[in-house]
Structure 1
């Protein structure tokens, strides 16, 4: 669901860059207030895990595909504020290194996947869980995880037709685009819900305190072992599982390119000149466009790109976590 530059106008792109910057600023402030030292390694590793998982598209309905978004999963494990920062880091790495998502569309992508999905999905997750205090049943925890992830994906997808329509780039009526976009992503969201459920179920069994809620169970693995298990899994997904990912277009590309729901699909002149120039610059400067060394590069380059991206995301997110920790420590020092 990474939007390209071509489906947006400069005004809409700029407006959402500003909105996302403001939202991420508030998220950073919120993350500092609720920050815990133990979150630093978990933030880095879960960012790397979500980056790797996003490389693996799974087939939907025989004509399109989807992949894990990860925003709600991150919110469940880290809180929505930290999740927003991690998602912004992932999207930035994907955009700058792999030309995955437009540079001027980064504000829209960060708004949709980095703000709407984590906050909306996590809000529903907490609503289903009920009051913060008291032990939660496993069934309620799993239902909340699945439903929050599913609805988070659908909510973020629902914003895309609005952004394209505001840009004047939609080639079909809003009443056609909107339900199809949301419908496809409800199916994708169901798979995301299942993955989120599986991760939460695993953590509930081996380290329930990571979830931040009281559930029946005892710690069978140390926190370090949990972090290590996700680090290994991220590397395996990026290095191996990415090779068997579906090559079908994702839900958004299927509609804007395959079904020609965007005006740019049939008429390149419909693209704003500024957006076209930025896209051309991105294609020239991205080190590993489309997760390859070039159009004719062998398949193993996908693994190399995935591993490099996973490590880059780990480093960027760890840096963000360290910065939040430092600002939090400074804030505490000023209050004493």
Structure 2
């Protein structure tokens, strides 16, 4: 500013002849130096800003990557409000009406004694992956994995009403049982037999929220109803979904159930009535979307929901081939019986 002020004053002087002397070149040179210095200064600021911007983008990408990894350990219903609104996280919980589901794999403990750790981990990870997808599809809060079991609940932090929460939980449990049938067929081909799911469900008031300390928190639930769901799951048989009376009252108009009996459960003074939820498709006769039948040496599993239009011809061809083989074996057995009968008559 001083240089340009001096230039303006000097050039306005009537005594200056711009075509002679050394004052004019010096002024022009000084002006060029100032302008070049300003360009250089702006360029350096731009380079510095660009470097800081790249560093900020790198830190942001790293932070997003870390958050994405950490969120895999936390239910989306818990971390999404924290990320979106930066809401405070404290040790807090409240009493709420929940529908709680406990599930595990029948026969997994016995199978673990005869399998290698690699095969065991593969089976368990496949099972948990499929069940987690189903839980997320139905909007359940996946509380935790317990060995080969899992705990889910509906009602917090987003509830659709006690009745709808119970219906959503039953729909999820039925989908899990159907998915287990598909997994069982795959595992059976790999030589792993006898893996079934069992599920216990109840509806009631529990305390749900953040439990722990300021340094370590866990979003979970505690209460007698959670214990009841766990006891019902332990009492269920292979592929059975047992529900308590409180859940049955909500779902009985939408799902066919039959009374499984009154169970004496650990931690409960009086017997607890339980109902078994039947598969809606399995009890619609010809409208069934599932066909599942097992005999020694024979496994039939049809899931019409997953079949495509161009699959039916191939399925029919394979069934016809299998039927021809059955007829051939039956004729062979009949011929062997006839030959044995002739030998007996000859003797």
Task: Answer whether TM exceeds 0.5 for this pair.
Answer: no
Give the number of the structure with larger relative contact order, counting CA–CA contacts within 8 Å between residues 6 or more apart: 1
| TM range, smaller chain | under 0.3
Q: Which structure: larger Rg?
A: 2
TM-score by length of 1: 0.28
Q: Is the helix fraction higher in 1 or 2?
A: 1
Q: Is the strand fraction higher in 1 or 2?
A: 2
